[in-house]
Amino acid sequence: MNQILNPTDYYSVYLDDIIIFSKDINSHLNHIVDVFRKLSKAGLKLKKSKCKFGLSEINYLGFIVSPDGVKPDKSKVEPILNWKIPSCTKELQSFLGVCAFYQKFIKNFAHIASPFYRLLRKSTPWSWSESCSNAFMEIKTKLSEIPSLYHPDWKLPFILHCDASDKAIGAVISQKNGQVEKPIAFYSRILNSAERQYSTLDKESLALVSAIKKFKYYLYGKKFFVYTDHNPLKYLKSIKNISGRRARWILDLEEYDFEIDHIPGSDNIVADGLSRSIAALQLESDICLHEVQKKDQKLLPVIQFLQNNIKEEKVNDAETNYLIEHSKQLSIINNLLCHRSRRGLRPVIPTSLRKQMFESCHSKSLSHLGMNKTIDLLSDIAYWPSMKTDVSTWISECQSCQLNKHRNRKPKSNLIPINTSPDVQFWEVDFMGPLPRTINDNQYIIVFINTFTKWVEALAVPDQSSSTAVKAMLECVVYRFGIPDRIHSDQGRHFEGDLFKGICKTMGIKKSRTTPYHPASNGNVERENRKIKEMLRHHVNSNQNDWDRHLSMVLFAIRSAQNASTKYSPAELTLGRKLKTPVALEFSKNIYQKYVKIPDGNAIFQKLVSTLHQTWNIASCNIKKAQELYKNNHDIISSENMYKPGDLVLTKTNGKNKLCNVFSGPHLVLESRHPVYKISDGKNLENYHLIHHDHLYPTQVDTFSPRGG
């Protein structure tokens, strides 16, 4: 891409991302046409849906770029703010690595993080101290208050502030616009063990040289000013008979045109955050806000208190009392009751207008933002004490949100384990894939698992058609273990088609299925699918097109290993013995007896039957214990909400169209077969679906007016 679009002063290329920037609209149109011509000449096409034109602000490579400057994307910083305290060296290194990406926005980052660097020394044992906790919280605070870094004005001179401490060096490059000094970038790094032994002059000199090299692309070829609180640094160039590192530093500095000015340490302060001008709030409404405030029964006593400093004797409203108790944050400006905080000056919204304010920040034009984002948006322009509670309630009542938003939640229904025993041949089946196509043209794996013995059969296949499923069932199950009593699958067409169901009916196999979109009810085979994938990753080549060659080896490993539920390997419960592994074979060479008396065949049979019955009984007990334990653990975190016939519920649509409603409804509950429910399909009560409890959601809509997805 860089060969097609040679670097210019009006566009930039990063991989397949192109950003075009211009001073005015006419230049911008010419620049866009020029880029289009070059791409067209190279035979490249642009996807219209991924292009944006005429923007004054963009999110580019994780940063928000606007006329005011550059700042990090909040969504990228938020995971750092939620980072848990590191518990080992690797976790601390990960945290520092992520934070270092934003250190150009944080003054004295290296100095703040110095306790971490000490902790990362090889000779230092892991011990999270109070200084580490303080540094951890300070970095998070700095990240939450990151200011915009301003764009450089190439017509103005640059200013470089440098400083050094016993632990780190730091600098900030800025420019003056009128009387205001605006930061462009910060720089800092920790001192190594040798640099910590430097004299004060050398540390300050190191800070100067390092900062100039760091900001070379701003400073080279332009005169700039350096401010330092270390006066001797002014005379660095005039020192006679110098050698060593000072001589090298002076040679490095000869390329630059700058003046060094001394300022007292108390004046050498660069603000950690930038002061942002507070724009006067203008409500786009005909409503006279201060008049509505005076009519509000909650706010009128507060206004009177601020004006007269006299509190009414009896104030029964909790919100009114709260505002009066926190009156230091309140003031009356132009007859308007306002609240002052770090967000600036905001009007206190009367009760009658709060819902209207919420709807303006949560409307369709703003895509029905979630609770936190709506509160954040509201908090920038307005204030009232119960905002968080009110917004939470209103969003929970928003029908559009109920129908269109995914919900992360705990399992809703309690677990109902599958009854299994050695007397019933019960198999679960599922397709896994698509996987990378192999040399043998295979792209899927069909997996069968015996629910009692946990014996797994799997076959690499080219597709997931019904005929493929039937052939695999015959080969993997019927011809090896006999006709099963029951086959359980999901609702895929390959298992629910006439061919597969017809074969099952002909053989007398009971065919059962999961409820829609509830893989947990086919849990045995789902777990084995995940296990097979994980194990295959260890064996495939770089192209991942030879996984079918390794499938038999993976099955051997699964059949040989002890199952967590039964406490036996699948081989022991199926064959009555353990499979001899390569490790066991190597070990047996040392104890192998050359002459072994061959026992009677009948004795072998009796012993095998006895062994199998004994292991089956023990395995049955182990499975029941494991199911009880898993059920208890599952039910502890479940949030079961039983529905009754006549209740109204929403159901997940799981539509293929990504822009369709996430939920449909409300639907009427016709019958409860917990955890499966018979749900009406529209107003015609004769049409119904069987839906698992985990895919039903309560609704606060109290009218039965079904909507589809």
Last residue of a domain, one of 18, 38, 54: 54
User: In which domain, by residue range, is 684 found?
Assistant: 647-698
Residue 406 confidence class, pLDDT cut points 50, 70, 90: low
The model's confidence at residue 620, banded by pLDDT at 50, 70 and 90, is: low
pLDDT tens sequence across 669-701 = 888 876 788 888 666 666 777 787 777 888 766
Q: Residue 345: give its domain's CATH number.
A: 1.10.340.70
Residues 137 and 154 in one domain: no
Which range (162-171, 331-340, 394-403, 461-470) has the least confidence?
394-403
Whether the per-residue pLDDT at 500 is higher than 70: the answer is: yes
> How many angstroms separate the CA atoms of 532 and 550, rounded?
10
Q: Is residue 615 part of a domain?
A: no
What pLDDT is stored for residue 595 in this prediction?
A: 38
* Mean pLDDT within 102-114: 78
Looking at the domain assignment, is residue 256 inside a domain?
Answer: yes
Average pLDDT of the chain to the nearest whole number: 76
With a cut of 70, say whether residue 511 has pLDDT above it: yes
Averaged pLDDT for residues 384-410:
74
Which of 180, 158, 131, 137 is closest to 259 using CA atoms?
158
For residue 39, being part of any structural domain is answered with: yes
170 and 306 together in one domain: no
What are the DSSP E strand ranges found in 554-657? 648-652
Task: List the one residue out of 409, 587, 570 whose CA is nearest residue 481.
Answer: 570
Can you tell me whether residue 612 is helix, strand or coil? Answer: helix
Q: Is residue 706 part of a domain?
A: no
Q: Percent of the chain, pLDDT > 90? A: 9
Residues 430 and 573 in one domain: yes
The string of pLDDT tens digits covering residues 530-586 is 878 877 877 777 778 889 988 988 888 788 777 767 777 788 888 877 776 554 443
Q: Looking at the domain assignment, is residue 459 inside a domain? A: yes
Residue 268 has pLDDT above 60, yes or no: no
Q: Say yes or no: 528 and 562 in one domain.
A: yes
- Sorting pLDDT into bands at 50, 70 and 90, what band is 54? confident
Question: How far is residue 461's CA from residue 548's CA, in Å, rounded to a whole number?
Answer: 9
**Greater model confidence, 597 or 642:** 642
- pLDDT band of 59, cuts 50, 70, 90: confident
Query: What value does the mean pLDDT take over residues 294-317?
Result: 81
Q: What total number of domains does the chain contain?
A: 6
- 97 burial type by CB count under 10 A (0-12 exposed, 13-18 middle, 19+ buried): exposed
Query: Residue 616 is encoded by which pair of tokens?
Result: 């089956």
Instruction: Say how far apart CA 353 and CA 336 lie, in whole Å.
Output: 15
Residues 305 and 156 in one domain: no
Question: Strand ranges (DSSP E) for 455-537?
Answer: 456-461, 486-489, 510-513
Query: What pLDDT sits at residue 473?
Result: 93
Q: How confident is the model at residue 632 (pLDDT cuts 50, 70, 90)?
A: low
Which is higher by pLDDT, 475 or 522? 475
pLDDT score of 586: 39
- CATH classification at residue 558: 3.30.420.10
pLDDT above 80 for 225: yes
Indicate which CATH number applies to the domain containing 65: 3.30.70.270
Q: Are 444 and 392 members of one domain?
A: no
pLDDT at site 251: 85
500 and 453 in one domain?
Answer: yes
What mean pLDDT do residues 456-480 have? Answer: 92
Q: What is the pTM of this model?
A: 0.35
Does 265 lie in the same domain as 175? yes
State the average pLDDT over residues 370-387.
80
What's the average model confidence in pLDDT over 158-180?
81
| SS3 at position 628 | helix
Q: Are 262 and 313 in a shared domain?
A: no
> d(Cα 54, Cα 136) in Å, to the nearest integer?
40
Confidence (pLDDT) at 609: 56
Same domain, yes or no, for 74 and 39?
Answer: no
Q: Give the CATH number of the domain where residue 214 resides.
A: 3.10.20.370
- Indicate whether 305 and 233 sit together in one domain: no
- Neighbour-count burial for 364-401, b at 16+ CB within 10 Å, e otherwise: eeeebbebeebbebbbebbbbbebeebbeebbeebeeb
Are 12 and 104 contained in the same domain?
Answer: no
Q: So what's the pLDDT on residue 5?
A: 72
* 414 lies in some domain: no
Tell me the C-alpha distance between 223 and 175, whole Å: 12
Residue 418: what pLDDT?
55
420 burial level (CB within 10 Å; 0-12, 13-18, 19+): buried
Residue 502 in any domain: the answer is: yes
Q: What is the mean pLDDT of residues 272-291?
A: 39
- Statement: residue 219 has pLDDT above 80: yes
Which pLDDT does position 622 carry in this prediction?
A: 60
Residue 614 lies in a domain: no
Predicted pLDDT of residue 671: 85
CA distance 9 to 32: 13
pLDDT at position 283 is 36
